[in-house]
Amino acid sequence: MWKFLLPFAAFVALVVLFAFGLNPSRDIHALPSPLIGKPAPAFTLTDVLDPSRPVSNAALKGQVYVLNVWGTWCAACREEHEALLAIAQQHVVPMIGLVYMDDRDKAKLWLEQLGNPYQAVAFDTDGRTAIDWGVYGAPETFLVDGQGRVIYKFISPMTEQIWQRDFLPRIAAARRGGA
């Protein structure tokens, strides 16, 4: 009995392992953020468009907001820009930009030429804010709830489908829970 059962059990275990490990729809490079459920790291930076204007996420406390990390060097950020503009048009939540590893003038030009979906765009001069948020590639989009906790992180270009599928339900839930 064992002679047959044991190899069969091993076979089933391997099938389960491979079904998970070799699943082509799983992005092996995507990492779960340890920040989920934790307080959003505080930052106080200056606005890309106006260096004299401070941008701080403390000012957003009590609101659900989106933080989108981008840079002009990032092709995938260019790719998602139209989607961000369309999403901003819906005025669901404030969208804050965080420019990362970039040049202020280039970022400014990008917004002037392509349109600005952001309520404010923080300029991360030395990459420290990005480290606090665990950013390792752009674009990255975080969702923060009314208590200032990170509730979701999406790594990859944003699309309107992803916005509807992943973000809108979470925003609605955060508002229901945190009102």
Partner 1 sequence: MKTPPRRLSACIGAFALALLGALGALACPAAVQAVDANGQLQDQGLQARFENITKELRCLVCQNESIADSNVELASDLRRQVREMLVAGKSDDAIFDFMTDRYGEFVRFSPPLEPKTLFIWGAPFVMLLLGGFIIYRVARQRSRMPLDDESATGP
Cβ proximity to partner 1, 8 vs 73, nearer residue: 73
Smallest distance, partner 1 to C-beta of residue 43, A: 13
Output the six-digit token pair for 7: 């190899």
What is the distance between the alpha carbons of residues 64 and 97, in angstroms, rounded to a whole number?
Answer: 14
What is the distance between the alpha carbons of residues 35 and 55, in angstroms, rounded to a whole number?
Answer: 21
Contact 146/178 with Cβ under 8 angstroms?
yes
Cβ proximity to partner 1, 3 vs 91, nearer residue: 3
72 is a contact residue toward partner 1 (CB under 8 A): no
Cβ proximity to partner 1, 28 vs 179, nearer residue: 28
What is the distance between the alpha carbons of residues 109 and 120, in angstroms, rounded to a whole number?
Answer: 15
Cβ proximity to partner 1, 46 vs 72, nearer residue: 72
Give every CB contact of residue 22 below 8 A, 6+ residues apart in sequence.
none
Output the six-digit token pair for 142: 């975080």
For residue 24, the Cα-to-chain-centroid distance in whole angstroms is: 22
**Interface map 129-148 toward partner 1 (x if CB under 8 A):** -xxxxx-xxxx---------
Percent helix / strand / coil, the chain, rounded to 5: 40, 20, 40
Cβ proximity to partner 1, 131 vs 173, nearer residue: 131
82 is a contact residue toward partner 1 (CB under 8 A): no
Smallest distance, partner 1 to C-beta of residue 32, A: 6
Smallest distance, partner 1 to C-beta of residue 75, A: 5
Smallest distance, partner 1 to C-beta of residue 150, A: 11
126 is a contact residue toward partner 1 (CB under 8 A): yes
5 in helix, strand or coil?
helix
Interface ranges with partner 1 (CB under 8 A) = 27, 29, 31-35, 73-76, 101, 126-128, 130-134, 136-139, 155-157
